[in-house]
Amino acid sequence: MRILIGVAGVALLGSAALAQTDAQALGCASGRFEDCRQLLLLVEVKRGTEPGLEATFAPVFNKAREVFVAACDRGDVSDSGCFGAGMMNAAKRPEDLARAVTFYERSCDGRYAPGCTQLGNAYTSGLDPEVPWDPQRALAAYERACSAGDPGGCTIVAKTLEGAGDIPESVVRRVPRDLKRAASLYQKGCDMGAMPDCLRLAEMYEGGLGVRKDAARAGRLYARACEGGVTDACGRGRTSR
């Protein structure tokens, strides 16, 4: 049975079977981002079967936004501050991506890599007319994510500069091809533990794509990627090592 309790106006599900959800609601309302993330996921999964669930948790999410914004204003750029405020605004229905972007920018300016990544995603989503579709700004944000320690940002920019097949053509044709820079970004991703980046860098050294051809280095990179779990790298470049 749904009940209301007088803690920050939070609507909770009172069933003993949903005690964990109740705890997550209280946690979210007090600014614990992971609890908010789990509740948002629950609402999304149940959207078709329990449409009233979103309204039930609306006071929780509203309170969480207030808490995250206040923390952001105090200089917290992480999940519990600017990034959290951005994600909670992006999760609104209707979505408020434009406001979310302002918080992602503050998070990214503070060198919080997830904020930069989400900023890049926002500029290529096309979900809000107030947020322009802008591949160049997206790539700048992804590269900032890479510099802040997110290997995924390195990979996205490298693939775009290379014109890789899994990057939308609408994005690739707006960005000049630059294999040398792509190789440099794959190297950064590889150094941060992104094994698929090690594999692609090995292929570039093997073929002399954007780098000086170096079979021995390619062999070492193939071995590293293989040891890191990338099966496509296993057995390649053995004659070079």
Tens digit of pLDDT for each residue in 208-219?
Answer: 999 999 999 999
Report CA 77 to chain centroid distance, whole Å. Answer: 15
pLDDT digits (tens, 9 = 90+) for 10-57: 344 444 435 678 889 999 999 999 999 999 998 888 888 887 888 888
Residues, the chain? 241
pTM, rounded to two decimals: 0.82
pLDDT tens per residue across span 52-68: 888 888 999 999 999 99
Cα–Cα dist 2/12, whole Å: 6
- Residue-level pLDDT at 31: 94
Phi, psi of 123 (to 5 degrees): -80, -5
Q: Where are the domains of the chain?
A: 1-72, 75-149
At residue 195, φ and ψ (nearest 5 deg) are -65, -35
> What topology does CATH give the domain 75-149?
1.25.40
114, two tokens: 């997830």
